[in-house]
Amino acid sequence: MSEFQNRNRDTFDAEVASHRTKEKKGHPVVSLLLSAVIGLGAGLGGTWFTLNHYQGNTSSNSAGITTTTESSPSNVTSVSSNDDKTGLSVAGAAAKAAPSVVEIRTEITSTTYGLFGGTYTSEAAGSGVIISSDGYIITNNHVIENANTIKVKTYDGNEYTAELVGTDEKADIAVIKVDATDLTAATIADSSKIEAGDTAIVIGNPLGTLGGTVTDGIISSPSREIVISNQSMELIQTNAEINSGNSGGGLFDGNGNLIGIVNAKDSGTTSSGTTIEGIGFAIPINKAMDVADQLMKYGKVTNRPTLGINVQTLEQDTQRYKAGLYVTSVIKGGGAEAAGIQAYDRIVKADGEEITSYSDLSKILNKKSVGDTITLTIERNNKQMDVDVTLTGTLEEETGAAKTSATLG
């Protein structure tokens, strides 16, 4: 297969304008065009976000950063509920929350090819939130992905070099750690308790230069299903102002408690010329902390239900292949291998629901647990058959497999 890759750097949040993705300097985007057999790729990515109907990205592992696997810290502060809807003033809530938010700067080495190709170093910036007083910080995967170095600046102006503890591309969550004690950690709330209309406060590092910036608004929706990089995600929607650089920062409630990790925004204009304003998104902290806990314990997510296949989407009919979602490889030890799934099988349905892309399948997988069974209707040699697949926990990718497709789960 031929592969054409167009790489740009961007720092943070997804911006959509006129049904095109805007990229800013500092973060990688990879668009894959696979010829003949599989055609247009639409595998799961997490490096950068494109809302709704845009193709996914692929990425390689972070390079040059020491990765550590440690037990979860015991000094995480949390509250069991958000029953007090009165809350503090915005100033009071911001004063409580702001010391837990950090600025993040990364250095990334990239290689270009062609007549004027070479290696160059670029910088990017984002935000993070301290989740324990001994230096654990939660942020987005896309903020630190591929970074050679990660620098952290705390609210009091101190600067640290951070180590990568673990990162999860699909949840867009990463945990880093600095060698420090007595840091001010965020008080973590229960994001399942928030309601539309509740106070929302965003604190982060917009533009990579304005650390500690506070914006406020309301919770527009406590749970909005959004397709980002071909992955279906349940996110908190807010109208609090979000700009490039806020990614990884905190979404706080009216009491200054952490309810989400900012990861995306929608802005610009639609294809009809309608201006998009006040639409930002954050990963609910319940989900973010579940992932973070696993990253701190195991260095990866272990409880995500997984089919054990890599896939690509064919956007249109190509030669003898119909448009749809195709299996490109089967991972050893997974449920798909046990069920007899093969490369080039087209996934037509999952639990009776029509499947045309990975995002369709991810919506169904998001409702499953490890050990559950999913019924796939597959097409092989122009014949359809139903196959029951038992979902396993997270599997390693195949040795030597190119990262041009999505590992489902």
How confident is the model at residue 272, as a pLDDT?
Answer: 80
Kindly report the CA angle at 378 between 376 and 384, in degrees rounded to 5? 120
Alpha-carbon distance values, 279 to 196, 208, 238, 243, 282 (Å): 14, 20, 6, 11, 11
Q: What's the pLDDT score for residue 71?
A: 55
CA 254 to CA 259: how far, in whole Å?
Answer: 10
Please list the ranges in the chain whose pLDDT falls under 70. Answer: 1-75, 77-86, 396-409
Residues recognised as catalytic: 142, 172, 247
Residue tagged 């939130």 (tokens): 129
Confidence (pLDDT) at 236: 97
Show the DSSP H helices in 299-340 as ranges. 335-339
User: Do 69 and 39 touch, CB atoms closer than 8 A?
Assistant: no
Whether the CA torsion 179, 159, 289, 407 is positive or negative: it is negative
Give me the pLDDT at residue 117, please. Answer: 73
CA-wise closest residue to 5 among 80, 82, 112: 112
- Find, among 309, 337, 305, the residue nearest to 325 by Cα: 309
Question: Angle at Cα 399 formed by Cα 170 and Cα 333, nearest 5°?
Answer: 75
What are the start-end ranges of the E strands in 342-397?
Answer: 346-350, 353-354, 373-380, 383-390
Residue 87's pLDDT is what? 78
Helix, strand or coil, per DSSP, at residue 389: strand
3-state SS string over 168-185?
Answer: ECCCCEEEEECCCCCCCC
Which tokens hold the place of 128?
């993070």
